[in-house]
Structure 1
Amino acid sequence: MSVAILARVLHHERALPVVAVTLVSTLAWTYLLAGAGTMEEMDGMLMPMSTGPWTISHALVMLVMWAVMMVAMMLPSALPMLLLYATMARRHGATQRSGSGSDSGTAWAISLFGLGYVAVWSGFSLAAVALQYLLERAALLSAMMESTSIVLAGATLVAAGVYQWTPVKSACLAHCQSPLDFVLANWRTGSLGAFQMGLRHGAYCVGCCWALMLLLFVGGVMNLAWIAGLAVYVLVEKLAPAGHWISRATGVVFVAWGVATLLSPYLALNFA
Structure 2
Amino acid sequence: MRPGPRAPDPPPVLLSRRELAVGWTLMLLIAVLAWAVTVTQSRRMGTGPGTMGLAPPLFLALWVVMMAAMMLPSVAPVAITWVRGIGRRSAGPARVLRTAGFVSGYLLAWTAFGLLVYAVLTVTASLVGESPGAARWIGAGAFLLAGIQQFGPLKRICLRHCRNPMFQLARYARYRRWAKDLRVGAHHGLYCVGCCWGLMAVLVPLGVMNVAAMAAVSVVIFLEKLWSRGPWLARAVGIAFLVLAVLAPFQDWLLPGLGSTPMGDMDPMGDTAPAG
Please state which band the TM-score falls in when normalised by the shorter chain: 0.7 to 0.9
**Normalising to structure 2: TM-score of the pair?**
0.76
Cα 1:124–1:194, aligned 2, differ >3 Å: closer, same or farther?
A: same
Please tell me the root mean square deviation across aligned C-alpha atoms, in Å.
2.9
Question: Distance in 1 between the 2:228 and 2:134 partners?
Answer: 37
Question: Distance in 2 between the 1:148 and 1:105 partners?
Answer: 53
One-letter amino acid matched to 1:29 = W
Cα 1:58–1:48, aligned 2, differ >3 Å: closer, same or farther?
A: farther
One-letter amino acid matched to 1:193 = K
Alignment of 1:103-252 (within 5 A): 103-139=92-128, 149-187=135-173, 188=175, 190=177, 192-252=179-239
Residue 59 of structure 1: aligned partner? 56
Q: Is the 2:42–2:211 contact (alpha carbons within 8 Å) kept by the matching residues of 1?
A: no
Residue 243 of structure 2: aligned partner? 256
SS, match of residue 14 in structure 1: helix
State which structure, 1 or 2, has the greater radius of gyration over its C-alpha atoms.
2
Give the fraction of aligned pairs with identical amino acids, expressed as a percent.
Answer: 28
2:82 aligned with 1:85, yes or no?
yes
Residue 261 of structure 2: aligned partner? none
2:37 aligned with 1:24, yes or no?
no
Deviation at 1:185, TM superposition (A): 3.0
The CA deviation string for residues 19-70 of structure 1, in whole angstroms up to 9 with x for no partner, is 321221111111111115963xxxxxxx66787995xx63332222222111
Cα 1:25–1:181, aligned 2, differ >3 Å: closer, same or farther?
A: same
The number of residues matched between the two structures is 235
Cα 1:263–1:111, aligned 2, differ >3 Å: closer, same or farther?
A: same
Question: Distance in 1 between the 2:222 and 2:50 partners?
Answer: 32
Deviates more, 1:186-195 or 1:115-124: 186-195
Per chain length, whose mean CA-contact separation is higher, i.e. which structure has more relative contact order (CA < 8 Å, sep 6+)? 2
Question: Distance in 1 between the 2:229 and 2:48 partners?
Answer: 41
Deviates more, 1:197-206 or 1:172-181: 172-181
Cα 1:161–1:88, aligned 2, differ >3 Å: closer, same or farther?
A: same
Question: Distance in 1 between the 2:27 and 2:40 partners?
Answer: 20
SS, match of residue 169 in structure 2: helix
Cα 1:181–1:215, aligned 2, differ >3 Å: closer, same or farther?
A: same
Cα 1:214–1:38, aligned 2, differ >3 Å: closer, same or farther?
A: farther
Question: Distance in 2 between the 1:82 and 1:108 partners?
Answer: 12
Deviation at 1:227, TM superposition (A): 0.9
